[in-house]
Amino acid sequence: MTRSCKITIKSMLKKIEENFDGKIWNLAFGEKVLVLEIRDELKRQVFFSAINLTTNTFFWKDLQPEKSWWLSLVGVFGDFVFLHKYSNQSKPEALGLLVLDVKTGTLVHRFDDWIYFNTEEDKLILYRLDKDNLPIYQEVELVLPKPKIEENNLINHYTETSEYFPLIFKFLYHLLKIEAEKAVDYLEVNDKIVISYYIYKENQFHNYLLITNKEKEILLHDFINSSEGIGINTFSTKSDTLFYVKNQNQLIGYEI
């Protein structure tokens, strides 16, 4: 059980909070954009949305490039979003690649029967298998800017067997009087400590996000989700913002 505690968000600015009609299944960052894959399992529909991280507004929202459940986000590459098409078999295989304009969502390229392999300089490299199950490669010219070197915040995933887990366990116990279980995601950034932890109750693991400063003042303590197991990469950072998905359908971002 968590102990009630006063939460002071004196230095935490919420930059974004968006709800979606489906589960946030996947997300990918570009230089100044975040693209999300949203799945409505009841309707068996998949949607994609792109958020401008400069203004925290949508470039586009709930886009369906095709009326198909069998699309999945590959990533953001420069001015393009890559989506794989899949078969509808019990073990799906990638069958093609769609390339969208990151700012408009417009379909700019379609490569049926080809699969994303890599990007090099201004080239997109695709492949497919021949009748002997050997790869055939194709190069496509795209204006792909060289990736900028950005300082990445290293988020560590520590399981119960890690030498660091007991230290974080004690930190959480003394601060919140809880007993964290299984694993934590941990990050130190600027003057803040970020911990995503689990407690077990009512036959489920309950995931919480805690942010404190170095003086152990609580800046944020939020429930993320309940599940039968534990996850990894339960939050992410981009530039000056920490992002996490709450209750599977809500994207939240705080300035860090």
pLDDT in the model for residue 3: 47
CA 13, CA 11: separation in Å to the nearest integer? 6
CA 212, CA 203: separation in Å to the nearest integer? 28
- Please write down the long-range contacts of 237-242, taking CB distance under 8 Å and 24 or more positions apart: 237/152, 237/153, 237/155, 237/187, 237/189, 238/29, 238/34, 238/53, 239/53, 239/150, 241/15, 241/16, 241/53, 242/189, 242/194, 242/211
pTM confidence score: 0.88
- pLDDT mean over 214-227: 94
pLDDT in the model for residue 1: 45
Of 90, 45, 51, nearest to 65 by C-alpha is 45
Please write the tens of the pLDDT for every residue from 106-143: 999 999 989 899 888 788 899 888 888 888 998 988 87
CATH 2.40.128 fits 32-141, yes or no: yes
Evaluate if residue 6 carries a pLDDT over 70.
Answer: no
Domain range list for the chain: 32-141, 156-255
The DSSP secondary-structure symbol of 5 reads -
Q: How many CB atoms lie within 10 A of CB 250?
A: 15
Classify the C-alpha dihedral 147-252-213-232 as positive or negative. Answer: negative
Please write the tens of the pLDDT for every residue from 14-65: 999 999 999 999 999 998 999 999 999 999 999 999 999 999 999 999 999 9
Partners of residue 123 on adjacent β-strands: 120, 141
Least confident of 146-155, 231-240, 244-253: 146-155
- pLDDT mean over 8-19: 80
Please write the tens of the pLDDT for every residue from 74-118: 999 989 999 999 887 665 678 899 999 999 999 999 999 898 998
How large is the greatest C-alpha to C-alpha distance in the chain, in angstroms?
A: 65
CA distances from 106 to 73, 95, 124 (A): 15, 20, 18
